[in-house]
Structure 1
C-alpha cells in the first residue's frame, strides 16, 4: 500500500480512495468485535436461561426470544469498546506498515487521516444513542414481561395429572385429572410449606389463573388441615372456596429506572431523583463516549508510528 500512495494521492479522488481504504480496515474489525464480545457477555445470562429450560421446561423458542431481548442491554457497552478496538487496530496497521509515515510525507494531515474514523464514530454514536435512549428500555421491559409470562404459563403446564409437582417454592401439588392444558384440575391434594406450620389441602376442583403479576390457585369444595404443633389442637377447616397465591419472585422483579422511558426518566431526574439522574447521565454518555473513543483510538494508533 505504501508504494501505491503517490499514484493514489495524485488523483483528484485521493481522499475518497483513502477514506474507503481506512473504512475497509476498520469496519470488518468492528463487526467481528461486536459478535465476539456479544457472545461472551450473553454467556452471563445463559445460566438463567438454561435453568428455565431444564428446571421449568420453557420452550427453546421462548429462550431464543429472551436472548434476543437481552442483547440491547449489552449494546451500550459493546459499541464503544468494539469501536475503540476497530479504530485502534486499523490505525495500528497503518503504522506498522509505515503507511502513516508515507501519508505524512506526502502532506496528508492527521486530521485528514482521522476523517473516516470520525465518520465511523459518528455512525456508531447515532446507533448507540438510539439503543441507549429508546431500544434498551423497551427491550428491558419486554424481557421482564416475556420471562414472567414464560414461567407463569409453565406453572400451569407442569401441573399434570397423576404426578406430584412443585408448582412454586414450598408448594407441592397432586391432581387426579386435568383439563385446559393443566389449568383446570380435579381431585387435588396440596401441601403448602411456606411457614413453620405446613398446611395440607384436599379439594375436588381447582383452577390456575393469573391477574397482573400474580399467579393463584383457586380451590373449590375441600378441606384444609393444619397441625399447630405437639400438644396443641389440630385444625381442620372445610371450605367452598380457598385461594393459594403462587409466588414468582425470581423472575418478576419490580420495574426499575433501567426500564423507564427517556422522557419519564428526564422528568424524574428533574424532580430530584438521584437514581433517575444517574441513569439519564449514563444513557447520554454512551454516544459521547463512542465519538471520544473513536478519535482516541485513531490518535493512539498513529502515535505509535512516531516511536516504532
Structure 2
C-alpha cells in the first residue's frame, strides 16, 4: 500500500538523522572527557580511540531504542500537525491500521538491539575492562602524555618526557627524579624504554644521560655521565585474570547461572528488544496533536512516559538482583505498558468526547 510505503520511508529517513545526531552528541562528549583524562596523564594517548570504540558499542542498544521512539514520535506528530491523519482517518484507515507499519519499522531495530545486547555489548564491555586492566599494569612511563609531569604509582618517582613512540615503546628526552633512602636522584637522558629481563623483572633502560644524586639541604651533589643506565622497577605484572564485571559476562554464562544478579542482568538484556517495539507502539497514541491548540504537550507526555518506563525497568532489575522478585516480573512491566498502549489507542479511536464520558461508557460495557 502507498500508506505503508510512505510511512516506512519517512520513518527510515528520520531514524537515520536522529541516530546520527544522538551518536555525534554522545561521542563528542565522551571524546572530550577521555581527551581530558589523557591530558592529565591518567590514560595513554593511544588508548583514547579504542576506549571510544568500546564505549560506543556498549551504548548502541540504548541509542537504537531512543532512535526508534523519537523518530516514530516526530513523524506521527507531524502527521497530526499537517492534518494528514485526518485525511487517513476519513479514508477509512484507523489508528489500529498504523500498528503493522510501525511494527515493520521497529522489528528490524529490535533484532539489531537483541544482537548487540546479547552478544556484542558484553564482548565490548569485556574488552574495555581488559584494556583498562592492561593500561593499569603498564609501566607508568608508557602512559605519560608528553609535556606532562607524572608521578609513579608508588609515589617515589616523577617522570617527564618530550616525545613518546607507541610503535617502538621508546621515549625521547627523559627526566626522572627518584627518592630513595633520604637522597634525591635526578636523571636526564636522551632516550629510554621499559623492558623485561630474564628474571621477569621490569627494567628501565636509559641511554646517554647524566645522573645527579644529593641530599636535600646539603651542597654535596654527585654527578655522573652514563651511556646506559638501568633501573629495576619491580616484578613483571601478573597475567590478567578473569574479569567478573556482570555487564561483561556472556549471555550463555548468565543462562547457566542461578545467582540473582545474573538473572537480573539476563532479564535486562532480554527486555531491551521488547522495549524497542513497545516504545514504537506507545508513540502512536502519544503523538496526538491538535493543530488548533498550538501546544505540543504530547512531547512532554512522551518524555514522562519514557522516564517512568525506564525507571520501572531499572527498579525491577534491582529488585530481581537483590532476590526480592522473580525474573518473570520484568515481563509484567512490558505487559503493563502494552496494555496501556492498547487502551490509549482505543481511546483515541473513539469519537471525540470528554474523558469522563468515555470512561463511563467503558465501565458500562464492562
TM-score of Structure 1 vs Structure 2, range by shorter chain: 0.5 to 0.7
SS in 1 for 2:256: helix
1:140 to 110, 125, 136: 125
1:168 to 134, 152, 155: 152
Structure 1 residues 167 and 265: alpha-carbon distance in aligned structure 2, compared to 1, 3 A threshold: farther
2:246 to 235, 238, 257: 257
Tell me, yes or no, if structure 1 residue 25 matches structure 2 residue 10: yes
Deviation at 1:119, TM superposition (A): 0.8
**CA–CA separation in structure 1 for the residues paired with 2:183 and 2:129:** 32
1:267 to 240, 256, 264: 256
Tell me, yes or no, if structure 1 residue 208 matches structure 2 residue 202: no
Residue matched to 2:178: 190
SS in 1 for 2:101: helix
**With structure 1 as the length reference, what TM-score do the two structures score?**
0.65
1:108 to 84, 87, 93: 93
Residue matched to 1:244: 234
2:263 to 250, 263, 277: 277
Kindly indicate whether the alpha-carbon contact (under 8 Å) linking 2:125 and 2:248 is maintained by their aligned counterparts in 1: yes
Structure 1 residues 107 and 216: alpha-carbon distance in aligned structure 2, compared to 1, 3 A threshold: farther
Structure 1 residue ranges without an equivalent (≥5): 1-14, 221-239
Structure 2 residue ranges without an equivalent (≥5): 206-229, 289-344, 353-366
Higher relative contact order (CA 8 A, sep 6+): 1
Structure 1 residues 181 and 288: alpha-carbon distance in aligned structure 2, compared to 1, 3 A threshold: closer
Aligned residues: 256
Structure 1 residues 166 and 253: alpha-carbon distance in aligned structure 2, compared to 1, 3 A threshold: farther
**CA–CA separation in structure 1 for the residues paired with 2:242 and 2:33:** 14
Kindly indicate whether the alpha-carbon contact (under 8 Å) linking 1:58 and 1:154 is maintained by their aligned counterparts in 2: no
CA deviation string 1:156-206 (max 9, x = no partner) = 37599xx9963524241579xxx97448xx9986337xxxx9897899xx9
Structure 1 residues 158 and 63: alpha-carbon distance in aligned structure 2, compared to 1, 3 A threshold: closer
Deviation at 1:283, TM superposition (A): 0.8
